[in-house]
């Protein structure tokens, strides 16, 4: 078996030896936006109300709008494996998503709304 790139980077979490693998899902970008925390390092912005400075490790709910975060979208260039390790180590109920996938889905939704909804 050959291991290449980040997809197969080994992660050692406690006594378990696991690998980071990207999983694909169909998700509703509009609904996701309300439960996303966009992070840059450990701090991020609520996708629902745009509140800034939220620590993803210590703050499971937005202090401003009370949204419970389900998704974490890292900034391009952040190491997803490092974030996954932190999520696992802290036992957080967060799903790490690929930010560019979300942005693509969101612009696609906006575009389709533009063509089907003249209002
Ligand atoms: Zn919020």
Q: Which domain holds residue 60?
A: 10-116
- Residue 31 included in any domain: yes
Tell how far the Cα of 80 is from the centroid of ligand 1, in angstroms: 23
- Residue 55 included in any domain: yes
Residue 57: both structure tokens together: 């490790």
Tell how far the Cα of 3 is from the centroid of ligand 1, in angstroms: 39
- Residue 4 included in any domain: no
Tell how far the Cα of 47 is from the centroid of ligand 1, in angstroms: 7
**pLDDT tens, residue by residue, 6-63:** 444 444 445 367 899 999 999 999 999 999 999 998 899 999 999 999 999 999 999 9
- Residue 5 included in any domain: no
- Residue 25 included in any domain: yes
Q: Are 39 and 55 in contact (CB under 8 A)?
A: no
More confident residue, 109 or 13: 109
**pLDDT tens, residue by residue, 73-96:** 998 889 999 999 999 999 999 999
User: What does pTM read for this prediction?
Assistant: 0.78
- Residue 97 included in any domain: yes
Q: How many domains does the chain have?
A: 1
Query: Who contacts 44 (Cβ-Cβ below 8 Å, separation ≥6)?
Result: 37, 38, 52, 54, 55, 56, 72
- Residue 18 included in any domain: yes
- Residue 39 included in any domain: yes
């Amino acid at each position: 078996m050959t291991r290449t790139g980040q997809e197969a980077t080994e992660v050692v979490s406690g006594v378990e030896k696991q690998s980071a693998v990207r999983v694909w899902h169909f998700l509703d970008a509009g609904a996701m936006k309300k439960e996303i925390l966009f992070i840059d390092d450990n701090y991020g912005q609520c996708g629902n109300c745009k509140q800034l400075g939220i620590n993803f490790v210590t703050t499971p709910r937005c202090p401003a709008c009370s949204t419970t975060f389900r998704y974490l979208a890292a900034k391009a260039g952040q190491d997803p494996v490092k974030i996954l390790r932190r999520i696992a180590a802290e036992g957080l109920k967060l799903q790490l998503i690929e930010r560019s996938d979300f942005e693509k889905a969101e612009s696609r939704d906006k575009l389709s709304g533009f063509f089907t909804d003249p209002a």
